[in-house]
Chain A
């Protein structure tokens, strides 16, 4: 029997190879005792991320003019879509590493494993964005999720962190089960796991087999869990609150974007003929997710938890664009996820700075009068919050404008109206933080220890501020990047 060896273009996975190599390298490096402390572990990982980003950005692996390159028996693709998402992930990971360096030292978790897991999660995310086969996507999702389960509980001595990890693991595995069932049913119905194969089969065969629809629904639940769409969001607040803050920042940006990347690709490339069914379901999910996320955020006093609910609401906005399945919709999701990475990690960076050692100061009252002690920090936080609200001239506004245009263009004026009214609701809780920072006198009973700013943190904040303003005032370059990256379908 002759075994056919598929043609493999290694060049298409250079960025993933680099990230994985660095993940292992960081693990090995920490074995050697050094006199210079352990900061270099973080910077080494950062170097890996930057290197991978450069290669992804240059598109050395993809074709001229941005056409898609398939490899590994068509299980893997490098196209503009996956490249854009990979850049979002790498940006998210890079910013997370920058805001982790001091945090890990404070909490005594400055180990190679921490960065190694971060990088493995990133590699998993990249697999999800580039996979064109349900198996590859699933492997990526698992690599990412398992790394995250560990990271969520990484501060071993903190009870709430343990709870977070356990909850995430139990519920996460449950959701993975749904996803896997969905994949199995799709395979049963169509006889293939390749996205192209599935869509080809459905368009040829008579449409509407119950197994197929069941499989699609299970996939929807699985992805719905990963993007924290209501009603699959129950894990989010507890996990986000309990996980170490840099990991929370990371989870709300990168992995969420990765889940969206795979979600979009699977539904648009493999299941376009079922669009009539899933569009309606996602319409309802979007409306629920936005509204419930925003309304529950209104009553939170813990800023970290508030941002967790806000991140649920933002997933809802992205789903609004999902509903309008055309080019504009996909481009707007790409743009929004990039904008969201900047503004949300920026906001979390400040939560980390204020939280201090042991994350004790994460309540609204710890923010009172911040503007008079640290005017620049407060101004940066104010900018991130305004961007999350969607006030111009910030990235958040342009992102929302983009998303709402996509929805209205496809005729979903009702959903767009629900979305804009939701941004009005969100004003209230974001403004609560601004109000505390600027308009309340600090309570004299609260002792304020001075905040510590490390260079890495300042670089992260600077990048986030730059990103938010640049994407808000001169968004043209990013918009055309996003436009070139829509899925070729």
Chain B
């Protein structure tokens, strides 16, 4: 059977809907069966997505596994799917983490399981769709559609302040995406006036001839949309609330996959479509990235709740991710994409492990723990490994991406490099300090003496993540290879378009650059 001829991306994207369809007909008290079906659906979906990796041709940057069917022809909207080296790792990360997230809720969520599993599977469809969509409207639809299940996951199965967190999450994201819709439509009509064709196809917008002023405004709109999702420093306030209130699986998906939609948006849309504006925004976004790294780390340091600490660490890690991306060179962007994957793995694992002890003690306060290594040794070892991975200890995955990003940043601007390296030390401090207070030392609370160590199911959740944490750390080549061509092409697109600025554009570029400095 020829794999290339199957609409494989659609199959991977919409397969979870089959699971939803089956779950729909199961009585709601039979929650074990519902969990099994959800798990098997996600697992099959992951297995279906694995061949994508092997049949992906890493020697070229072009979109692959393309599907293109007219959908709303009057507007030039196509059902258009395809992936390149940038989206491939994210698709795989999504299918992988979805399986783990579903497996992790076996005992954590026992009420209203039916709705929960339907929401999780629906979310999976939305997330994969975002990474595969090559049509702007399709992209936007997937982007918005996944708001609803996430809203339900936080709002129904979340913690005490879930209602507040859920609506905050919804409003923030909706605010950003509504500006994105305006920007998309503006691009659409400009493209029509230039080419005479109505089309929403994303690749067709690459390398358009846009005036500097226009690029500035469009970039700003996309920046707000994606920046809220990432989240970049001043837009991050929804994240701790959403993370802390969401149930474990929700946090894993939120940190592991949803946040990456923002960074992915920058790579897929902002950089190649608005290259000059992107170049002009480098200092601005780099500074915000550095603030994110340092601010996230400092706030984490002050947290008393483990989950909140992990949530703020995401702000720090994604700040680094943005910094690497806007270094605008191969090392930086590759590091940035790898950092997305690594953050998904290590932060996902951290949330899972917090979930495991929370399920037994129903508290996440650091002060309630201490000396766990004596009671639950297996947990301790895995926890240490995950904390090391998150810190970027050599030999584990975090190191590879951090070093790549640092190389990229140093090439771009040596001062940024020096500041962020110092900032990264703070990462080590809060993670190790948290580890020390939770796991090491003497047992201070009697309740902790009876904690149960990781069971087989939980081990099954964590082991695959550990496997990848070590694999990427020791031998990252297979992962980097797949994205190489696409990343290089992306950089060419940005550079090429910057070289062809007209005299006029050049002047405008300086103008808006000056503008932006005064605004800053």
Contact = CB atoms under 8 A, between A and B. Distances in A.
Contacts of A476: 71-74
A423 B175 CA distance: 9
A189 to B, nearest CB: 37
Given A427-B174, A428-B171, A439-B155, A479 B75 contact: yes
Given A405-B185, A408-B189, A431-B167, A424 B74 contact: no
B12 interface: no
Contact of B170 (A392, A393, A416, A427): A427
Interface string A392-416: 1100010001001100110001001
B56 interface: no
Contacts of A392: 140-141, 144-145
B179 interface: yes
Nearest to A409: B189
A422 to B, nearest CB: 9
Interface string A250-262: 0000000000000
Nearest to A426: B174
Contacts of B152: 438
Nearest to B143: A392
A424 B166 contact: no
B145 A408 contact: no
Contact of A391 (B137, B145, B171, B189): B145
A73 interface: no
User: For this complex, into which size category does the number of interface residues on chain A fall?
Assistant: 20 to 34
Contact of B141 (A393, A420, A421): A393
Interface in B145-200: 145, 147-148, 151-152, 155-156, 162-163, 166-167, 170-171, 174-175, 178-179, 181-182, 185-186, 188-189
A21 to B, nearest CB: 38
A423 B186 contact: no
B181 A401 contact: yes
Given A421-B175, A439-B162, A439-B163, A479 B74 contact: yes
A475 interface: yes
Nearest to B112: A372
A435 interface: yes
B24 to A, nearest CB: 10
Contact of B181 (A404, A409, A431, A483): A404
Contacts of B112: 372
Contacts of A408: 182, 185-186, 189
A167 B174 CA distance: 38
A417 interface: yes
Contacts of A203: none
A386 interface: yes
Contact of B182 (A397, A404, A479, A480): A404
A378 to B, nearest CB: 11
Contacts of A391: 144-145, 147-148
B155 A413 contact: no
Interface in B423-482: none
Nearest to B172: A424
B468 to A, nearest CB: 33
B175 A404 contact: no
Given A420-B178, A424-B174, A439-B155, A405 B188 contact: yes
Contact of A479 (B72, B151, B166): B72
Nearest to B193: A409
A417 B221 CA distance: 11
Interface in A454-489: 475-476, 479-480, 483
B148 A438 contact: no
A480 B74 contact: yes
Interface in B187-218: 188-189
Contact of A413 (B144, B174, B182, B188): B182
Contacts of A405: 75, 185, 188-189
A7 B145 CA distance: 55
B178 A435 contact: no
Contacts of B179: 417, 420
A427 B167 CA distance: 9
B323 to A, nearest CB: 29
Contacts of B155: 435, 438-439
B163 A420 contact: no
Contacts of B73: 476
Given A392-B141, A428-B167, A416 B175 contact: no
Nearest to A480: B74
Contacts of B166: 435, 439
Nearest to B70: A476
B181 A420 contact: yes
Interface string A426-448: 01100100010011000000000
B167 A435 contact: yes
A416 B183 CA distance: 10
A392 B72 CA distance: 14
Contact of B156 (A401, A404, A439, A475): A439
Contacts of A386: 148
Nearest to A402: B75
A386 B209 CA distance: 37
A475 B74 CA distance: 10
Contacts of B170: 427, 431
Nearest to A393: B141
Nearest to B145: A392
A476 B72 CA distance: 5
A393 B171 contact: no
Nearest to B152: A438
Most buried by B among A386, A397, A409, A431: A431
A481 B476 CA distance: 55
Contacts of B145: 391-393
B176 to A, nearest CB: 9
Contacts of B185: 404-405, 408, 416
A237 B179 CA distance: 30
What are the 4 closest A-B residue pairs judged by CB atoms, nearest first? Answer: A420-B178, A392-B141, A408-B185, A439-B155
Given A391-B148, A475-B72, 4 more contacts: A392-B141, A413-B186, A417-B182, A438-B155
19 contacts: A393-B145, A401-B137, A408-B185, A408-B189, A413-B186, A416-B185, A417-B182, A420-B178, A420-B182, A421-B178, A423-B174, A424-B171, A427-B174, A428-B167, A435-B166, A438-B155, A439-B156, A439-B163, A476-B72
